[in-house]
Copies of this chain bind each other. A is one copy, B any other.
Amino acid sequence: MPVIEYIEAIRSAMKEEMERDSRVFVLGEDVGLKGGVFTTTKGLQEQFGELRALDTPLSESAIAGVAIGAAMAGLRPIAEMQYSDFMFPATNQIISEAAKIRYRSNNDWDCPVVIRAPIGGGVFGGLYHSQCPESVFFGTPGLKILAPATAYDAKGLLISAIRDPDPVLFFEHKKCYRLISDEVPEGEYTVPIGKSRVMREGDDITVIGYSLPLHFAMEAAAELAREEGVEAHILDLRTLQPLDREGILEAASRTGKVLIVHEDNKTGGIGAEVAAIIAEELLYDLDAPIRRLCGPDVPAMPINPPGEKHFMLNKEKLKTAMLELARY
């Protein structure tokens, strides 16, 4: 299987779905002629024309709102938010509208829109080009939320998102775009929404997370196995809404020691819900308190390099936390 970059996986998912289904189109700031500020949509306007790879005015609420309207009209829009930090002007359209269209109309109308947004830091983007917005949308029923860590999942999940009959937020980690490459089949495939994936098997500790930090966990796990004989079991949630309850409980019970990890800040993050699920189902199977290793409860990361480094998770921080848990 060819090894491709995470960003290429996303690009090809859009391209192939646009070839397959004339209802699919992309819209957003700079997604057309320029091909996106990260080049995620590069080539789409050449291939599909301006109407299907549309440069919009600088207005996120309209990008989301127009996409929602077009989705209700029967199209399959993929709206890009240039940075997830800039999707907050669209919150009302996402939470009040997209999430509630099916429910409020008693299934008469639906809203199959995909909203893509690059999340996360580590790129010297400073406060407003580094945030993780998951917690803002996570508590809203009616939305689905995806956050792939690998190229394989990025492509397979994005295809699933485009074909999904409900609104999907697709959070791609901008640091993964070129850092992460893995095997991706040539042909069409999908990754099911709502299913987590075991990235690594182990019997000593369980790490549950999503997106970029899982790669730090994998590196740390390899070192811990070699250096300390500690075998970590690592679960990639992949879908944040709906969470894969069974997958979480299975992974947690496997070792009885759980470390939850994400880059979004700790308080009110996805990790709280994962911990709560485990605490309400598996209390007696745990051999250690449930730990969370997350971004600090600080508005956003500084742009200066020591500040950013201090803020971000990395292999060392993961390794320390994992070893501590193993030794508990």
**Chain A residues near B (Cβ < 8 Å):** 61, 85, 88-89, 91-92, 95-96, 99-100, 103-104, 127-128, 134-142, 241, 243, 264-265, 267-273, 275-276, 278-283, 286, 288-292, 297-300
- Across the interface, A91 reaches (CB within 8 A) one of B91, B104, B271, namely B91
- Across the interface, A265 reaches (CB within 8 A) one of B95, B127, B141, B292, namely B141
A298 to B104, CA, bound (A): 10
A99 to B273, CA, bound (A): 23
The answer to whether A269 and B141 touch across the interface, beta carbons within 8 angstroms, is: no
16 further A-B pairs in the complex, CB-CB below 8 A; given A85-B96, A100-B127, A268-B268? A100-B299, A103-B299, A104-B127, A134-B139, A135-B135, A135-B139, A136-B139, A140-B268, A141-B298, A142-B299, A267-B273, A268-B270, A275-B276, A276-B290, A279-B289, A283-B290
Q: A100-B299, A103-B299 are in contact. Are A268 and B273 (CB under 8 A)?
A: yes
The answer to whether B290 and A280 touch across the interface, beta carbons within 8 angstroms, is: yes
In the assembled complex, which residues on chain B have CB atoms less than 8 Å from the CB atom of A280? 275, 289-292
Q: A139-B136, A141-B298 are in contact. Are A276 and B271 (CB under 8 A)?
A: yes
